[in-house]
Amino acid sequence: MRVALAAAWQPRGELERFLLLLPVLRQVYAYQAVSLPPDSDRQLEQVLRSSGVQVIRTANWSAGRYAALQAAQGSAAGCIHYNDFDRLLRWVETRPEEWRQTVASLSRADCTIIGRTLAAYASHPQALVQTEAISNRVVSQLLGTAVDASAGGRGFSQAEAAFVLANSRPVRALGSDAEWPILLQRAGFAIEYRTVEGLDWEIPDQYQSQAADPVCQQEVARAYDADPVNWARRVEVALEIIQAGLDAAQRKLAFPASLLRPTEK
């Protein structure tokens, strides 16, 4: 099945790595939709367009994930892989075979949550590990199964993407970690869960010519944890995810006329 990529990207020096990986990305994705912040570099946008990427410049960055999914949902591909773009580049660069196998598996489920293995999770700073443990626990409770919901990776069929777009609110960017799967679970769609090594911590890759090694990851993680501002920010992120999940758990659902309910399939 043809797969479309939907990705939100706040560029931090990854363009050179993207161009090196572009031939590999084209082998796997029939269509690529990437959303950019409103203040992103115009030259970078032009490079992406000239590389065949559908670029969406958002007026409000909180809608970045939604805008990318919306663009991919309008493509001819039968399946959509959503991934935060900086994480995706690291995954493709460091574990290409795992990435290929994961993308190939997405068509077998209505929705796939792509989480991190314990080893991938351990590459992150404690500021992320400890706060995400709280938001992941809440999301897992709402879904009725244990998941790592915060790795920025999802798989959707076109129909389930249409349902998500009809029922989600593009106002909490990171809240979609909880919102999207909870909406689908409430509607009766099947959700699969898969863990991968390739979604380990990507921040140390910023403004580098290649993905950081584990030693560099740990050095940057220690510096990250030493700054109280980062802890405060990650508490805010966890709260955003929890609030979005609780909201999605109570929202009235709407089924687009073109979409059958799961019980009607």
Mean pLDDT of 136-156: 96
What confidence score (pLDDT) does residue 28 get? 97
List all residues 6 or more positions away from 116 whose beta carbon is below 8 Å from its beta carbon.
Answer: 148, 151, 195, 196, 197, 199, 200
Mean pLDDT of 106-119: 95
Mean pLDDT of 181-195: 95
In whole angstroms, give the CA distance from residue 73 to residue 247.
24
What confidence score (pLDDT) does residue 205 get? 98
What confidence score (pLDDT) does residue 23 get? 97
Cross-strand bridge partners of residue 194 = 114
Q: Is the pLDDT of residue 11 over 70?
A: yes
Contacts of 44-48 with CB under 8 Å at 24 or more apart are: 44/11, 44/15, 47/15, 47/19
Q: Is the pLDDT of residue 265 over 60?
A: no
What confidence score (pLDDT) does residue 79 get? 95
DSSP character at residue 211: P
Mean pLDDT of 138-145: 96
What confidence score (pLDDT) does residue 240 get? 96
Total-model pTM: 0.94
Mean pLDDT of 200-215: 97
Region of poorest pLDDT, from 142-146, 209-213, 222-226, 257-261: 257-261
Mean pLDDT of 33-51: 95
Region of poorest pLDDT, from 16-20, 41-45, 167-171, 260-264: 260-264
Residue 256 pLDDT grade (very low, low, confident, very high; cuts 50, 70, 90): confident
Cross-strand bridge partners of residue 111 = 156, 191
Q: Which has the closest alpha carbon to 130: 231, 6, 5? A: 231
Q: Which has the closest alpha carbon to 186: 135, 233, 238, 247? A: 247
Mean pLDDT of 53-69: 95
In whole angstroms, give the CA distance from residue 75 to residue 84.
19
What confidence score (pLDDT) does residue 1 get? 81
Phi-psi region of 105 (alpha: psi -120 to 50; beta: other; left: phi over 0): alpha
Q: What angle do CA 20, 25, 26 make, to 5 degrees?
A: 110
What confidence score (pLDDT) does residue 53 get? 97
Mean pLDDT of 54-68: 95
Q: Which domains does the chain have, with CATH numbers?
A: 3-258 (3.90.550.10)
Q: Is the pLDDT of residue 262 over 90?
A: no
Q: Write out pLDDT tens, residues 64-109.
A: 999 999 999 989 999 999 999 999 999 999 999 999 999 999 999 9
In whole angstroms, give the CA distance from residue 61 to residue 173.
8
